[in-house]
Structure 1
Amino acid sequence: MVVVKTVLPDKRHCVIDCQCGKDRKAIIISASGGIATIRCLKCQRFYFNAQLPSPKIELEPPGLETKRIRLPKCLEPTYKAGARDKEKAKIFIMAFTALTKHALPKEYVMAELKAWNEKLDKDIMFTQDELNKLYEKGLTYKFSCRALQKYFFPADWEENDLLKDWCDNCEFRTILKPREKVSEIAEEAMKKVEEERTSKDEAVKELEKELKKDKDGIIRIIEVFPHDEFRKGQIKCLKQMAELIKEHKIVVLNPPTGFGKTAVYLAIAKAMNVPTLIVTPRRDLQEQLNSRYGVPIVMGKRNYVCSLIPSRTCKHAPCNLGVNFVCPRTGRECPFILACEDCPCAECDYANSVKMCIQILKHGGIVCINQGLIRTFARFAKLVILDEAHEIFNTFGGDVRLEFSDDILGEIDGCRGAIEHLKEKARKLEEKFLKTAGNKAKHIEKKLTHIYNEIDRLQNKIDKLLSMRFFPTVRFEKEVKGEKRKYLRVRPDFSYEVTLGMLPKDAKIIVVTATPPKSLKAPIVTAKANIPATKRPIIYHPIAKFTHNELKKEGSKVYDRIADTIAFYFKDFRLFGYTKKAIVHVTSYEHSKEIAQRLCYMFKVLVPDEGNLKDAVDKFLKEDFDMLIAPSIDSGCDFHSKDIALQFITKVPYPDLKDPAIQALKRDRNFDFNSWYVQEAIDKLVQAAGRVCRGSDDYGITIILDRKFEDVYMKNKDKFPDWFKEALIWLPSQTL
């Protein structure tokens, strides 16, 4: 828990020791009972349970006074003058509660209702118990504009121009009118649906009639399928894959979410009976392959403990310095041939995993590796499967900093020289480490960790540069920490070729991705979604045009409307048991902070630090946060949990035109920038829509709030996958 050192005289600011440094100035968003929600003004980090020096400090969130009286025009006369009959007064209390619950804590709503209740005639006035009961009822009151019109408008209201104008221009109408429809969609999503399954015997009978060529080969695939039953569409997909992989070097598997792609490509690999290398960018996918299907895996070095020095990982072990490193056990140079008796290195989990998996490949088995180990293992494989290939392509075709030379070969030489210098420095520190103990040894170990990380970074850079040197690149400068730095990036239409160029020429390749590169000339195997569209609705509910120009014109109003809608729906969905947590997709850390500071006094919101997304996602899944508001969670993060069944896409995720890399691509005359720019936004949007509802026993609701989506979708319908289109619910045409 963060402790507030001093509260400044204005009572709204304070001084804290933040993670970004000591004695940082912070703003107090709200405070009650000695506990405050604060935000550091330097790094914008939120602290939700900061301890104040005095429990007497009570503060409302900024802007609460104006939020307190935001009501539809039809309710304002009743709010100001009171009601004339008991029934209308009851409806008003429930409507007022339902409208303000998303923006105000209970104590503020009750304070307003008490003040309003005192204005009523004595025969209408409510007791405190009655007010409390009506408040509780109002929390779950599913009223709509129709209900308000019935009680608070005259019967002939449509003939009154003023009243009609109130209704047509009501800002609450965008939420209230579709509310009933959205509730129906959520209830439908929660219903259990029996999934169609086919046994292996039934699958063989189904295929016997249509199989003429290679009957035995297809039946072999059915037999080695890793499950007893097939999901809908898997048999057809296996048949197509088996036929295409014989005729083509590269085949793309383009499955919808929850299709069971892992079982499909494993069946193909087992049936081919050749050395198979599965490459994946994420540890959770490796662990899934190992635990569910028994596939041997080799993860990155940081995931293994060094058997020689248990306080370190294999990434920071002395053997990274190469031959003749000083062994801390004997104090002598080690020839790295395990010559010592009972040498701990013989028990090295990482080295043994590598050796074991190479032997498995040599004997025609299946192995799964981290993407960073492609160069070590690729030469042993006859079939390579790139799982979540779009992430692998982005990694190897991504930005590389030019630190030593403007020329690629010069940069490689510079990196090699720097690595040798760092290794020499590390050798000397390792010798010191052997002669020290206690805090001094820990201090040396920290220095060594930094050096080994730097060696690893430079080695990875060399690998990337060696792969990308034959492909078109763009160069650009970017300011980082007040310093201008030069970078290099492979042009996006060639990024997949960088990865494919690292693989053996005689190997077959299966590219598994939901968003295949348009420039990749290879047959694509698609499939229909086996999760019903009702279980994964994508609701287009336009609230604001979230563009740079609109933000300039409207300012904070755009953020207010987005935050109000998120809060309104989340409170409703949580009250009715549809979800416990929510994901909010944004396109920048600036947007995440703007939305978070409007929601943080009502919900426990997590906003990750830049570059620390993975830890933030783990924290969100394990701890009791209500919302995760972050950019870049459109891929690489799965939320397979009924506790997280709601997500919002606040903005169509176009690449940032202010980014120097994007500007460099725009200037390249040989690159079709406009097509790529739109396709990149669509791919990220589609990836984001698949983050919730990851299986047939799951459900998940996606709500798109950006009006810009309508333009993108109408002009580029053919670029959206079928599973996305069949789940899309178009609220504007149906309810507004």
Structure 2
Amino acid sequence: MPGNNSTDPFNVDAAVARLNNDNDTDTDSSDDVSTVHSDNATDTVSNEPTTVSFSSRDEIERVIDTVWSAPSFREHQKTAIIDILEALYIDDNDVVSLSAPTGAGKSLIIYTVGRVISHVKRAKSFVTTPLNSLIDQIDDDEYIDNITTIKGKNNYSCVHPRDEGTSVDDAICQRQADFDCEFKDMYDTNDGCPYYGRKERAKDTDIAVTNLSYLMSNAMIPETEDARFEPRNFLAVDETQNIEDFALNFIGFTIDRREIPINFNNISNMPPEDCDMSEMVAWLKEVLNGIRQRLMDLQKKGMLTTTENEDQDDLQSLKHRISNFIEDYDNNHHWTKTYDGSSIKFEPIMIGRFIDRFLWSQSEKILLSSATIPKGDFLDAVGLDNLDTAHVEVPSTFDKKNRPVITREMVGKMTKGERASTIPKMADKIAEIADFHNPKNGFVHCHSYDVMERLYDNLPKYVQRRTTKQDSDNRMRSLKQWYNSEKQIFMSVSMNEGISLDDDRARWQVLAKASYPFMGDERVNYRVNEMNDWEWYSNQAIINLQQAVGRGMRSKDDWCISYLLDSSFQSLLDRNKDLFESWFLESVDCYTERDYYGQPDTDFTFTT
């Protein structure tokens, strides 16, 4: 916002050194972090999180029974909550990882842990998820109350008469210097600002629910600012399998001079692709100088246009990312640069130090939750090494015979060199499976739009007429249209998470290709070929596979069959059984007594 940032002459090295120092009042003004000082009066509280402890499992159980909000417990649910609280507050572990498959009631498990420590000590919790859609699910859960959810400013509409209905991130308080809004100091529940009032309410609420980017941005707000959430006792990160990717999106950045709204006339040409990193750092310092100058020019304006306000937000975010990179490079940490035409992407090889700095530092105790907790050295990779950890695993309550993963229908490898010969055979197999299950709906996970188009082109015409392809421009709209259509098949790309194919939406799935990371990415290439980290490489494909399989069966009465058609899945299974979840392994080639699965002792095939 104009008027909130320092306008001293810019020195790159000094700016980097004080990036997160209290004397630097610049804060990320992107969607995920507030840059406006809040004067809302709240009770004075200590910055130190409350200490929580229990004497026994029986004591924990009594408190759970007091705060439990649902009519009853699901199988294993109460035991999981007790195990988590015991591991954190009796055994004094710093971190607990919770493996809880679909149907375990994971959200209520996490919520109840927060409610228990709130009940006994008024201790406060953060609950984070990667996606706003998951926050909405928590908000809509009838058994979860006494929480406040908070998302970025662009998710709320201004209530001030001068800008009523405008998105808060483009409202008058963002565009006009020193604008004094009377609604900002009032809770949103008392007709105050839907964003700033809600944020103040979240700061006062014992359980605050937000997304990862928002909470990581909070760590960049100086401790002297009222807009900052104070550290809390407990932090739960749901869908933990994505934390590296989301942290990379938060820390990494792409430079494309066509997209950065600064004057490049006084900046040298972009270094060539084969330059060393020191030459690139010198050039980025010039870019950073230009960004700072443009921000100073914008701050001198009394009123910003919508475009200027958007430019300011983008530049603030990019400034922090470049500064982070320069500081990290000066500390001898390795980053990669990947050229793509006129743009360059910068990413750190290892991300754990940043997650520690911007996320773990905001809590004393941490719960990592997912149906697919990454195995191996995952905790080290995300900055939780050298901490006391425990693991809690909730068994699947879904009958494995209702969710078989079929491996005996593989048709060939989908590697780049063998794809051309495999795709016609795979298209024939998809048609065969679709005919066998017709009219029951099926979902095909294609991995990429290229694979999707080539598979579709090789399907028989009569199967094409029963098929909907995902629209790259309107992904979710095309999925919803398929839900409401008479088409049998949906061909998807990157929909292995975040959707629910419950009941008749899909009774069978096809996984067309093992989704390994792209070796053309410099970071992936370095991690595999320079660090020999094949376990990490396999882990990414395993998580994608398990998440995709989990889309099809969403309740105990549901059923769905998943077919692995890429032969690369076989080696992934054979070499990495210790990296898979037990709920997944027990379903592999688990034939049932249903006629169309064949008998358990009979090799299953559709071929007549």
Q: TM-score, normalised by structure 1?
A: 0.59
1:11-62 alpha-carbon deviations (Å, 9 max, x no partner)? xxxxxxxxxxxxxxxxxxxxxxxxxxxxxxxxxxxxxxxxxxxxxxxxxxxx
* Aligned-pair CA distance for 1:705: 0.9
Instruction: Report the counterpart of residue 681 of structure 1 in structure 2.
Output: 541
Query: Counterparts in 2 of 1:153-172, with a 5 A limit?
Result: none
Instruction: Report the counterpart of residue 477 of structure 1 in structure 2.
Output: 338
1:369 maps to which of 193, 198, 210: 210
Alpha-carbon contact 1:537-1:727 (below 8 Å) kept: yes
* Whole-angstrom distance in 1 between the partners of 2:84 and 2:323: 32
For the pair 1:358 / 2:211, whether they are aligned, the reply is no
Alpha-carbon contact 1:426-1:451 (below 8 Å) kept: no
Instruction: Report the counterpart of residue 544 of structure 1 in structure 2.
Output: 411
Instruction: Report the counterpart of residue 644 of structure 1 in structure 2.
Output: 506
For the pair 1:320 / 2:166, whether they are aligned, the reply is no
* Aligned-pair CA distance for 1:279: 0.9
* Whole-angstrom distance in 2 between the partners of 1:695 and 1:687: 15
Alpha-carbon contact 2:184-2:192 (below 8 Å) kept: no
Alpha-carbon contact 2:101-2:395 (below 8 Å) kept: yes
1:84-118 alpha-carbon deviations (Å, 9 max, x no partner)? xxxxxxxxxxxxxxxxxxxxxxxxxxxxxxxxxxx
Query: Counterparts in 2 of 1:688-727, with a 5 A limit?
Result: 688-727=548-587
2:395 maps to which of 514, 525, 528: 528
* Aligned-pair CA distance for 1:642: 2.8
1:385 maps to which of 230, 233, 236: 236
Q: Which amino acid aligns with 1:476?
A: K
1:60-100 alpha-carbon deviations (Å, 9 max, x no partner)? xxxxxxxxxxxxxxxxxxxxxxxxxxxxxxxxxxxxxxxxx
> Over aligned residues, Cα RMSD in angstroms?
3.7
* Aligned-pair CA distance for 1:354: 0.7
* Aligned-pair CA distance for 1:563: 1.7
For the pair 1:664 / 2:508, whether they are aligned, the reply is no
Alpha-carbon contact 2:411-2:567 (below 8 Å) kept: yes
* Aligned-pair CA distance for 1:687: 1.6
| SS of the residue 1:242 aligns to | helix
* Whole-angstrom distance in 1 between the partners of 2:604 and 2:114: 49
Instruction: Report the counterpart of residue 303 of structure 1 in structure 2.
Output: 155
CA spacing shift, 1:505–1:305, aligned 2, 3 Å: closer
Query: Counterparts in 2 of 1:602-641, with a 5 A limit?
Result: 602-609=465-472, 613=475, 616-617=478-479, 620-621=482-483, 626-641=488-503
* Aligned-pair CA distance for 1:212: 9.0
Instruction: Report the counterpart of residue 128 of structure 2 in structure 1.
Output: 279
* Aligned-pair CA distance for 1:685: 1.1
Alpha-carbon contact 1:471-1:498 (below 8 Å) kept: no
Q: Which amino acid aligns with 1:389?
A: T
1:257 maps to which of 85, 102, 116: 102
* Whole-angstrom distance in 2 between the partners of 1:662 and 1:411: 23
1:536-591 alpha-carbon deviations (Å, 9 max, x no partner)? 22122333222336526xx3x4222212222232243232xxx33x3211222211
Alpha-carbon contact 2:298-2:312 (below 8 Å) kept: no
* Whole-angstrom distance in 1 between the partners of 2:338 and 2:552: 37
Q: TM-score, normalised by structure 2?
A: 0.70
Higher relative contact order (CA 8 A, sep 6+): 2
- Bigger CA radius of gyration: 1
* Aligned-pair CA distance for 1:622: 5.9
| SS of the residue 1:523 aligns to | strand
Q: Which amino acid aligns with 2:423?
A: Y
1:240 maps to which of 57, 61, 83: 83
* Aligned-pair CA distance for 1:411: 5.0
* Aligned-pair CA distance for 1:452: 5.9
Alpha-carbon contact 1:476-1:487 (below 8 Å) kept: yes
Instruction: Report the counterpart of residue 558 of structure 1 in structure 2.
Output: 422
* Aligned-pair CA distance for 1:463: 9.0
CA spacing shift, 1:281–1:537, aligned 2, 3 Å: same
| SS of the residue 1:507 aligns to | strand
* Aligned-pair CA distance for 1:645: 3.0
CA spacing shift, 1:500–1:255, aligned 2, 3 Å: farther
2:294 maps to which of 418, 421, 434: 421
CA spacing shift, 1:427–1:366, aligned 2, 3 Å: same
* Whole-angstrom distance in 2 between the partners of 1:615 and 1:735: 36
1:139-193 alpha-carbon deviations (Å, 9 max, x no partner)? xxxxxxxxxxxxxxxxxxxxxxxxxxxxxxxxxxxxxxxxxxxxxxxxxxxxxxx
Alpha-carbon contact 2:183-2:192 (below 8 Å) kept: no
| SS of the residue 2:454 aligns to | helix
Q: Which amino acid aligns with 1:523?
A: A
| Bigger shift: residues 641-650 or 507-516 | 641-650
1:397-433 alpha-carbon deviations (Å, 9 max, x no partner)? 34422569957798589458526626845986956x6
Instruction: Report the counterpart of residue 139 of structure 2 in structure 1.
Output: 290
* Whole-angstrom distance in 2 between the partners of 1:723 and 1:697: 17
| SS of the residue 1:516 aligns to | coil
For the pair 1:511 / 2:368, whether they are aligned, the reply is yes
1:594-650 alpha-carbon deviations (Å, 9 max, x no partner)? 11333473224223327x645554555566664432332223333345323322101
Alpha-carbon contact 1:651-1:705 (below 8 Å) kept: yes
* Aligned-pair CA distance for 1:516: 2.8
Q: Which amino acid aligns with 1:315?
A: D
| SS of the residue 1:296 aligns to | strand
Instruction: Report the counterpart of residue 76 of structure 1 in structure 2.
Output: none
* Whole-angstrom distance in 2 between the partners of 1:412 and 1:253: 43
* Aligned-pair CA distance for 1:268: 1.3
Unaligned runs of 5+ residues in structure 1 are: 1-210, 326-332, 434-444
* Whole-angstrom distance in 2 between the partners of 1:221 and 1:243: 12
Query: Counterparts in 2 of 1:4-403, with a 5 A limit?
Result: 213-246=56-89, 247-273=92-118, 274-292=123-141, 293-294=144-145, 295-307=147-159, 308-310=162-164, 312-321=166-175, 325=176, 334-336=178-180, 338=182, 347-360=192-205, 365-374=206-215, 375-376=217-218, 379-398=230-249, 399-402=252-255
1:498 maps to which of 354, 371, 382: 354
Which ranges of 4 or more aligned residues in structure 1 deviate by more than 6 Å? 339-342, 407-410, 426-429, 466-471, 730-733
1:343-371 alpha-carbon deviations (Å, 9 max, x no partner)? x99843111111111122xxxx1110122
1:296-344 alpha-carbon deviations (Å, 9 max, x no partner)? 21122221123343463223334335xxx1xxxxxxx5443539999x9
Q: Which amino acid aligns with 2:82?
A: K
- Between Structure 1 and Structure 2, how many residues are aligned? 483
Percent same amino acid at aligned positions? 18
* Whole-angstrom distance in 2 between the partners of 1:373 and 1:297: 11
CA spacing shift, 1:588–1:230, aligned 2, 3 Å: same
Q: Which amino acid aligns with 1:490?
A: P
* Whole-angstrom distance in 1 between the partners of 2:127 and 2:542: 27
Q: Which amino acid aligns with 2:398?
A: I
Higher strand proportion: 1
